[in-house]
Structure 1
């Protein structure tokens, strides 16, 4: 196994860990939103989804699909932009949930 393969395996393993832990936190927030009929808590869960789970999925899957679409394109640039856009969206939703009534 080359060094790049080891780095990829470790990176994907950590991404899977973030996805699992993120979903567990999101699930608890969703349950709290349903139990208390809280729109703010639901928005919190959605914001956490955009901050934790979606960027990890993007970082794992987008480079794979980018190779099939445009083999010569730098997939890392698209991955970074897409994951940062997801994180910014999530932070915006979190901010909105803190100020909603």
Structure 2
């Protein structure tokens, strides 16, 4: 990822953590997230703590495993209608014959 200007490092790190959670597609252990995001576990834990506070990540209290949080899911749901794939599928449904039951 090339930077065109000055960025906020913590957001970039959080993006790596969020990417690891999304790519896994299932709840993960801290050490696995840290490895996938190429972070030290302590930094990954600090990042996940902040991400949990804003809803980007969730930690299951029973298992301790992490997965994407409600806010991350909401962001995806909000962004989906702006994708080319969604627009292509939407056009197909508008062409659906109205007389089909």
Q: When the two structures are superposed, what TM-score results if normalisation uses the length of structure 2?
A: 0.29
Higher Cα radius of gyration = 2
Normalized per residue, which structure has more strand?
Answer: 2
The structure carrying a bigger helix percent of its residues is: 1
Q: Which has the higher contact order (CA 8 A, sep 6+)?
A: 1
